[in-house]
């Protein structure tokens, strides 16, 4: 498998994920490193040799990544047959790759038929996962759906910038910011608006002539209480 290899980088969202096993993390970044503009075409035999595992074990790890929504698998068949020409793996976790890559459908139509069979995946229709936490990810999808319903769909760049704003924040704050944007139909997310009532600033007259603003009744009551204490 030829590639211009200069090493790999594992983002913290993947490395710290409790949703993935260590092997799933490693296979995920290896798939991404082999993923050219049209997907990763490496087979289980390649991954088995690379990781020194059995092909069955590799198959199970790939299935786990598909089920958890991190990758999609597309099978390309020979025209008029059930013979599989190749499998294409695509990264679908948008928190890592900001745009889902489409399989090379048009380029293989000369003598072959592309059959987009996505096997054992929750990503039918190119459903994507934006955040590791499912509650945050689902709420983010709700936010994006709202923008679509308002005929103000966010661009890929806008989605990336909004995710960057939420990145690294506590889950509770991410949810609160998204709920605030949904409630107000905002196009992005913003810091939470807290309702703080600042103390009233005294007028200049009150600052320079405080005796004029004293409550005489309160003064008389204080004198009366002081006298009772003396008695």
Given this model, what pLDDT does residue 113 score?
37
- Going by CATH, does the domain composed of 8-129 fall within 1.10.10? yes
CB 144 within 8 A of CB 154: yes
Given this model, what pLDDT does residue 142 score?
87
CB 89 within 8 A of CB 71: yes
Contacts 24+ apart (CB under 8 A), 38-46: 38/88, 38/101, 38/103, 38/104, 38/107, 39/74, 39/88, 39/89, 39/90, 39/101, 39/103, 39/104, 40/88, 40/89, 40/90, 41/86, 41/87, 41/88, 41/89, 42/1, 42/89, 43/87, 46/1
Token reading at 141 = 């999808």
CB 93 within 8 A of CB 70: yes
| Block mean pLDDT (10 aa), the chain, length 231 | 67 85 92 84 93 92 90 86 86 58 40 36 53 83 87 88 88 90 89 64 60 57 52 52
Given this model, what pLDDT does residue 38 score?
81
Q: Could you give the residue range(s) of every CATH 1.10.10 domain in the chain?
A: 8-129
Given this model, what pLDDT does residue 99 score?
36
* Cβ burial 166-202 (10 Å sphere, 16+ → b, else e): beeeeeeebbebbeebbeeeeeebeeeeeeeeeeeee
C-alpha distances (whole Å) from 214 to each of 67, 207, 219 are 73, 12, 8
Given this model, what pLDDT does residue 207 score?
63
Which residue, chain included where needed, has tokens 């009772």?
228
CB 36 within 8 A of CB 48: no
3-state helix, strand, coil in the chain (%, to 5): 45, 10, 45
């Amino acid at each position: 498998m030829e590639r211009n290899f200069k090493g790999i980088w594992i983002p913290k969202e993947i490395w710290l994920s409790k949703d993935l096993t260590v092997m799933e993390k490693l296979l995920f970044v290896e798939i991404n490193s082999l993923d050219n503009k049209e997907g990763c075409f490496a087979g289980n035999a390649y991954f088995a040799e690379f990781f020194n595992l059995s092909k069955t074990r590799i198959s199970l790890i790939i299935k786990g990544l598909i089920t958890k929504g991190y990758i999609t698998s597309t099978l390309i068949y020979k025209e008029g047959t059930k013979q599989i020409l190749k499998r294409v793996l695509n990264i679908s976790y948008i928190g890592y790759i900001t745009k889902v890559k489409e399989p090379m459908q048009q380029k293989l139509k000369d003598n072959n038929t592309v059959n987009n069979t996505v096997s054992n995946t929750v990503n039918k229709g190119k459903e994507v996962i934006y955040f590791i936490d499912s509650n945050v990810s689902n709420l983010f999808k709700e936010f994006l759906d709202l923008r679509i319903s308002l005929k103000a769909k966010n661009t890929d760049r806008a989605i990336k910038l909004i995710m960057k704003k939420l990145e690294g924040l506590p889950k509770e704050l991410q949810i609160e910011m998204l709920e605030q944007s949904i409630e107000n139909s905002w196009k992005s997310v913003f810091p939470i608006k807290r309702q703080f009532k600042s103390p009233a600033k005294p007028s200049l007259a009150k600052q320079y002539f405080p005796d004029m603003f004293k409550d005489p009744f309160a003064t008389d009551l204080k004198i009366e209480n002081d006298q009772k204490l003396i008695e």
